[in-house]
Structure formats: structure tokens, C-alpha cells
Amino acid sequence: MTIIVHHLNNSRSQRILWLLEELGEPYEVRRYERDARTMRAPASLRAVHPLGRSPVVEVDGHALIETGAIMEHLVARAGGRFGPPVDAEGAIRYRQYMHYAEGSMMPPLLALLIIGKLGLLGRPARAPVQKMLDDHLDWLESELATRPCFAGDSFTAADMMMSFPLEASRARGGLNESRPHLLRWLNDMHARPAYQAALRTGGAYAYA
């Protein structure tokens, strides 16, 4: 059965396309465009899942939501390819980053996005939220100073999960040349043939 990815432009669903390209799995993309004013997903996504958010993936008779959960399902379905390393520390790091990407990294990025839309009203909150994000970026920079990928020496789904918050940090969160290990990692991710293939399939993506 072909996997169907309900894909919203400039969203977390780009990571699912990337994983499927890495796995070599056949899939179908159904595209949705954000509202140009509100940047919200169209109401038509609610016909797929009541929350109306992306990604939604139809696979093996189920409509799955949540990027990390979808990735874990697809990795397990593929026999563990791009899953946790065999060593205990690598496996712990893998699970940590699979959840950290959305649970810890995305909240300050979302807060910065909202603050930016508030204009003068949001200005007092910008510095403390940026400091919160900088703490994350500093820690991640130190992590990648000692290994090429987030879980260890090998590329895994944890790297794919971490791509979206770090791409968003590069675009609007202050990630720049002062953190060379993170930029090296981002360049390595963007250079992967499967990443490039996913961009061609998914269409315009502001964070690449």
C-alpha cells in the first residue's frame, strides 16, 4: 500500500518526505498551502484529521500524526533503518533528540515567531526568549563539537528530527557563523541526495 503524505508548505512534514526518500519508500504527496495572511493550514486538512495539522501520514490503514511518532513508525516499519545506534549511549542520545526537537527546541522558536508578529507589544519579551533559545543553541554547538551527528558517528532519524528547529533557528533565531559546528551539520544535511530529492517533491521550502 502506497504511503500518503499530507504535506503543508514550509512545515514539519518536509522531514517526513526526507525520511521516505532516505528509505526509498514509494509515497504519494497531497499538497496544502498555508493561508497567506494567517499562515495557517487550510480547512481541507481537517477532512484528513480533526486537528487539521501537518504532517498527517496515511500508512497501513492508519492516519498518523506527530512528526516524531510518524518517524518512529516508519523507521520500525523499515526494519530499523536510520534508527538508534547499537551502542547504549548512542541509543539514549537518539531517543533524547527524537523528542527534544519538538518538546524543548520548538517552544522558544514558536514564541519568537509570535513575538515578531506583535510588533512593539512583543519587544519586551524578545530578549528573554532569545536568551532561552541561545542556551539551546550553545548546548547543541557543544554536542556537535565532539561527533558528526546528533546520536553519534552515523546519520539517523534523530538528525532528520533536528533539522526543522535548526533550520528555523538559522532563518529567524540567531543561528549564524558564531556556531560553526551547527552550520557544518546543517550543510551536511542539506547536501544529502535524499534531502534534495525531498525538496523537489515537496516544493518551495523557506528553511532549506
Please give the helix or strand (H or E) that residue 110 lies within, else none: helix 106-117
Which domains, ranges and CATH numbers included, belong to the chain?
A: 3-82+194-202 (3.40.30.10), 88-192 (1.20.1050.10)
Q: Percentage of the chain with pLDDT > 70? A: 99
SS3 133: helix
Please give the helix or strand (H or E) that residue 65 lies within, else none: strand 62-65
What pLDDT does 164 receive? 95
What pLDDT does 179 receive? 98
104, 128 contact by CB (below 8 A): no
Average pLDDT estimate for 7-36: 91
